[in-house]
Amino acid sequence: MRSYIVKRLVFLVVTLWGILTLTFFISRVIPGDPARLAAGIRAKPEQVKQLQKELGLDRPLIEQYGRYITNVVRGNLGKSIRTRRPVSVDLIEYFPATVELTVFAMILCLVVGIPLGIASAVWQGSFVDHVSRLVSTSAVSMPPFWLGLLLQLIFFRWLKLLPAMGRLSIYLSPPPHITGLYVLDSLLTGNWTTLGDSLVHLVLPGIALAAGSMAVISRMTRSSFLEVLSSDYIRTARSKGLPERVILLRHAFRNALLPIITSIGLQFGVLLAGAVPIEVVFTWPGIGLYAVQSILFSDFPAILGVTFVVAIVYSVLNLIVDLLYTVIDPRIRY
């Protein structure tokens, strides 16, 4: 087990190096000289040159690459050309917002998706199953940004129940920065007003982001359960006269969980990527928003920083999912 984890971690480093290298060279293909943008529209060529020198953009590409990788190893992601701050400072500010939204969306996916999937497997072909299928198909086929706008229209404009944008009402100050996750920081500092307010702000973007993945997880749960429910040991359990609840939760659930866990791991990645349009619609100051602005500005260090962080999160999540297999199914050993 330990050697497996070590092996995976080595792979992780290699993967990250590959991703950084690829992104480094691809981002240089994007047309546009960031020094020119940063210097301003009327900047004289010598001003642009001066700034290129300051940003190290006047060096040969391979030297820039070498310097960048060395800096990353030392934990320095460089300075953003657009915001003129260290990329790590920007990421610390923007990333928690995305994490909070994604985690909230994932909780929604699990809490709604799995029970819905189980219900439609157990009552296959029934009214519940049809409704669940209808909801899933609609959720998968609706673009998240459109669903976001629809939710704003209904819950903000018509019903006046939920806020349409941001992480917190403007008259409230954010809780003291501990993790950057407003919900968690409010809980830790016992600030109940910001806790309620930040939860309320999560509802609409959370639903809009979660809908698609929720549907996928619910369908995956359904098919996995159907397969398990028709197996011999379930029939044996039934013939032994075990109550249906015990059969479902103790016998079927654990065996059906493996493909569901895989799909949850993948959906985390989908949610991270899907957060970009949702962050725009709900003005959610997350990493997606930061990435879009950086790309438009050809802000190389920022683009690389975002890619790096997302890659780490995605790889680590995959590792966790793989390790979870052994917990759920003792037959699996690494």
Partner 1 sequence: MRYVMIIGLALIILLSFPTIASTPPDTLVIGVIEEPETLDPAIDYTFGTLPIFRACYERLVNYNSHTRKVEPELAIGWEVSRDHKVYTFHLRPGVRFHDGAVFNANAVKTAYERVMTINQGPAWMLTSYVESIEVVDEMTVRFTLKSPFVPFIRMLTSYWAMCIPSPKAIAEHADDLGKAFFRDHVVGTGPYKLTSWVRGRQIILEKFEEYWRGWPGKHVKRIIIRKVLDTTTMALLLEQGELDIAYGIPVDEAVYLKDKPGINVFVYSTFTTNMIAMNTTRPPLNDVRVRRALSYSFPYEEAMKVFAGYVKPLIGQIPPGMPGYDEMLPHYVFDLDVAKKLLAEAGYPNGGFTFEYTWVTEEPEGRRVGVLWQEQLRKLGINLKITEVTVAGHWERISDPTTTPDLANYRWGIDYPDPSSILLPLYHGDAAPPAGYNISRLSNPRVNELLDELVKEEDERRTQLLLSEIQTLLLADASNIWISPVPVAICLRTNVHGFVFEPAYFSSFNVYDIYKE
**Using CB under 8 A as the criterion, which residues of the chain lie in contact with partner 1 when the complex forms?**
30-34, 36-45, 47-48, 50-51, 82-85, 90, 93-94, 97, 149, 152-153, 156-157, 160-171, 174, 193, 196-197, 199-201, 203, 279-283, 285-286, 289-290, 295-298
- Helix (H) and strand (E) counts for the chain? 15, 0
Find the length of the chain: 334
Contact call for residues 177 and 189 (beta carbons, < 8 A):
no
Contact call for residues 23 and 291 (beta carbons, < 8 A):
no
Direct distance between the N- and C-terminal alpha carbons of the chain, in angstroms, rounded to an integer: 5
Contact call for residues 173 and 65 (beta carbons, < 8 A):
no
Alpha-carbon distance 110 to 217, whole Å? 8
CA angle 230, 231, 237 (to 5 degrees): 100
Q: Tokens 């683009």 sit at which residue?
A: 303
Residue 173 DSSP label: P
Cα of 187 vs its chain's centroid, Å: 22
Contact call for residues 136 and 217 (beta carbons, < 8 A):
no
Nearest alpha carbon to residue 101 among 268, 332, 217: 268
Contact call for residues 294 and 37 (beta carbons, < 8 A):
no
Alpha-carbon distance 104 to 108, whole Å? 6
Contact call for residues 215 and 116 (beta carbons, < 8 A):
no
3-state secondary structure of 79: strand
